[in-house]
């Protein structure tokens, strides 16, 4: 039976066990992660006779004009359907039908794959992520680096810097503030750093987070990389560098460390990069990473008066 449950009705143990045991597990769909990044969230659930869940579909919610709006939250690249192997395609499709019918405004919702029939591909936008399978020996992974990436790595090794671990996101946030935020029109989401701090704190407590900095001889930092490692997936969740230290290629050094550490394993390095910005795509591709398609659903079945209010507000804000 398919149910649509409020957050308080969801059994965390059953939910997380389903996500972890599903055919395509992602840390983004765990209850603790959703609690951090979502204003509110609900779930579409298929529940068994013993109270176990055989399918879950997370639904991140924003409340506007007293209506639920479905929207992907920060630090959550993809969600979708998380079924156990015993869950039939028919049930998966019925869950997606329930999702589309129940929530009138969805903009956007990103599915990790399109192994379902209910959503016609004509309704979906396609974007791509970059992933690097780490099943080969490190030497072969390194040889797959593009020539310019190898050159940057060689330069990084000549700089008097080392990789250190840390539990503090504050230097990384300072790097981001100085190098990236100035280019954001209107600034960044006010909750961005709270989410980042909480994800780091909990992931370190669960031993699934790794925060690296490159450190110089004087003790100062140059660059930072934050990875969340869960269910054989290494998510490159956040990174930054001070503007005057970018030339030292510290992030290249840290990415190579991760690739070397997990080479010849079943792990996948997920660059978490659904973007159309050519320079970012080019950078991740230069490690030998392969494109993986993601599917974006949008729909607007809101009452007419709400749609008009949204359009008027958007028009005013963009003047």
CATH value at residue 86: 3.40.630.30
The answer, yes or no, to whether residue 312 has pLDDT greater than 80, is: no
Q: Are residues 232 and 160 both part of a single domain?
A: yes
The answer, yes or no, to whether residue 200 has pLDDT greater than 90, is: yes
Band (277; pLDDT cuts 50, 70, 90): confident
Which pLDDT belongs to residue 306?
Answer: 56
Which pLDDT belongs to residue 91?
Answer: 93
Using a pLDDT cut of 90, give the percent of the chain over it: 76
Residue 273 lies in a domain: no
Domain count, the chain: 2
Q: Taking a C-beta distance cutoff of 8 angstroms, is the pair 61, 72 a contact?
A: no
Select from 249, 297, 270 the least CA-distant residue to 120: 297
Q: Are residues 239 and 302 both part of a single domain?
A: no
What is the longest distance spanned by two Cα atoms in the chain? 62
Beta bridge partners of 79: 111
Residue of 278 and 108 predicted with greater confidence: 108
Residue 65, classified by CB atoms within 10 Å of its CB into exposed (0-12), middle (13-18) or buried (19+), is exposed
Residue 232 lies in a domain: yes
What letter would DSSP give residue 219? S
Q: Are residues 243 and 167 both part of a single domain?
A: yes
Beta bridge partners of 123: none
What mean pLDDT do residues 198-222 have?
A: 98
The answer, yes or no, to whether residue 305 has pLDDT greater than 60, is: no
CA dist 59 and 72 (Å) reads 9
Q: Are residues 143 and 225 both part of a single domain?
A: yes
The answer, yes or no, to whether residue 113 has pLDDT greater than 80, is: no
**279 φψ region: left (φ > 0), alpha (ψ -120 to 50), beta (else):** alpha
Residue 288 lies in a domain: no
Band (308; pLDDT cuts 50, 70, 90): low
Q: Are residues 79 and 191 both part of a single domain?
A: no
CA dist 177 and 238 (Å) reads 13
Which pLDDT belongs to residue 235?
Answer: 98
Q: What is the pTM for the complete model shown? A: 0.92
Residue of 65 and 226 predicted with greater confidence: 226
The answer, yes or no, to whether residue 50 has pLDDT greater than 80, is: yes
Residue 86 lies in a domain: yes
Give the 3-state secondary structure of residue 278.
Answer: helix
CA dist 117 and 279 (Å) reads 34
Band (304; pLDDT cuts 50, 70, 90): low
CA dist 241 and 216 (Å) reads 13
**In which domain, by residue range, is 92 found?**
2-126+295-317
What mean pLDDT do residues 288-295 have?
A: 92
The answer, yes or no, to whether residue 314 has pLDDT greater than 60, is: no
Residue 275 lies in a domain: no
Band (49; pLDDT cuts 50, 70, 90): confident
CA dist 25 and 42 (Å) reads 18
Which pLDDT belongs to residue 106?
Answer: 94
What mean pLDDT do residues 141-166 have?
A: 97
Element holding 94 (H helix, E strand): helix 89-102
What mean pLDDT do residues 30-36 have?
A: 98
CA dist 98 and 9 (Å) reads 18
Q: How far is CA 203 from CA 124, 227, 228, 229, 267, in A?
A: 32, 9, 7, 9, 18
Residue 51 lies in a domain: yes
Which pLDDT belongs to residue 301?
Answer: 81
Which pLDDT belongs to residue 317?
Answer: 45
Which pLDDT belongs to residue 257?
Answer: 98
Give the 3-state secondary structure of residue 259.
Answer: helix
Strands 268-270 and 233-241: parallel
Q: Are residues 164 and 72 both part of a single domain?
A: no
115-153: pLDDT as tens digits: 677 777 677 898 889 999 999 999 999 999 999 999 999
Of the three residues 226, 249, 266, the one that is the final residue of a domain is: 266
What mean pLDDT do residues 208-215 have?
A: 98
Which pLDDT belongs to residue 144?
Answer: 97
Residue 117, classified by CB atoms within 10 Å of its CB into exposed (0-12), middle (13-18) or buried (19+), is exposed
Q: Are residues 167 and 210 both part of a single domain?
A: yes
Q: Which two tokens stand for residue 214?
A: 């490159």
Sequence-ordered list of residues with C-beta below 8 angstroms from that of 46, at least 6 positions apart, any chain? 1, 2, 3, 53, 54, 55, 56, 83, 87, 91, 95
Residue 22 lies in a domain: yes
Long-range contacts of 29-33 (CB under 8 A, 24+ apart): 29/56, 29/58, 29/79, 29/82, 32/202, 33/76, 33/199, 33/202
Which pLDDT belongs to residue 39?
Answer: 92
Residue 276 lies in a domain: no
CA dist 180 and 192 (Å) reads 13
- Which of 13-22, 50-59, 132-141, 273-282 has the lowest average pLDDT? 273-282
Which pLDDT belongs to residue 12?
Answer: 98
Q: Are residues 147 and 90 both part of a single domain?
A: no
Supply the mean pLDDT for the chain. Answer: 91
The answer, yes or no, to whether residue 93 has pLDDT greater than 80, is: yes
Q: Are residues 185 and 76 both part of a single domain?
A: no
Sequence-ordered list of residues with C-beta below 8 angstroms from that of 150, at least 6 positions apart, any chain? 142
């Amino acid at each position: 039976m398919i149910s649509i449950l409020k957050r308080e009705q969801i059994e965390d143990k059953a939910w997380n066990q389903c996500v972890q045991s599903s055919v395509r597990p992602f840390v983004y769909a765990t209850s603790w992660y959703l609690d951090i990044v979502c204003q509110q969230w609900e779930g579409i659930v298929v529940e068994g006779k013993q109270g176990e869940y055989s399918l879950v579909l997370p639904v991140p919610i924003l409340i506007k004009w007293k209506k639920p709006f479905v929207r992907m939250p920060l630090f959550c690249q993809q969600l979708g359907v998380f079924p156990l192997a015993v869950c039939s395609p028919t049930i998966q499709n019925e869950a997606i039908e329930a999702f589309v019918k129940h929530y009138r405004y969805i903009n956007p919702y990103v599915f990790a794959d399109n192994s379902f029939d209910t959503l016609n591909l004509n309704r979906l936008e396609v974007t791509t992520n970059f992933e690097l399978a780490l099943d080969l020996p490190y030497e072969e992974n390194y040889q797959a680096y593009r020539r310019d990436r190898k050159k940057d790595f060689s330069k990084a090794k000549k700089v008097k810097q080392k990789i250190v671990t840390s539990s503090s996101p504050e230097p990384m946030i300072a790097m981001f503030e100085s190098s990236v935020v100035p280019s954001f029109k209107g600034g960044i989401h006010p909750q961005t750093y709270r989410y980042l701090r909480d994800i780091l704190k909990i992931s370190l407590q669960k031993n699934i987070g790794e925060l690296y900095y490159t450190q110089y001889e004087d003790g100062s930092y140059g660059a930072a990389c934050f990875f969340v490692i869960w269910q054989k997936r290494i998510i490159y969740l956040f990174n930054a560098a001070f503007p005057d230290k970018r030339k030292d290629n510290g992030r290249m050094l840290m990415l190579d460390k991760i690739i070397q550490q997990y080479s010849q394993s079943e792990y996948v390095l997920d660059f978490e990069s659904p973007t159309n910005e050519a320079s970012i795509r080019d950078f991740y591709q230069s490690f030998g990473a392969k494109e993986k398609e993601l599917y974006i659903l949008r729909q607007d079945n809101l009452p007419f008066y709400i749609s008009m209010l949204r359009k008027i507000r958007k028009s005013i804000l963009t003047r």
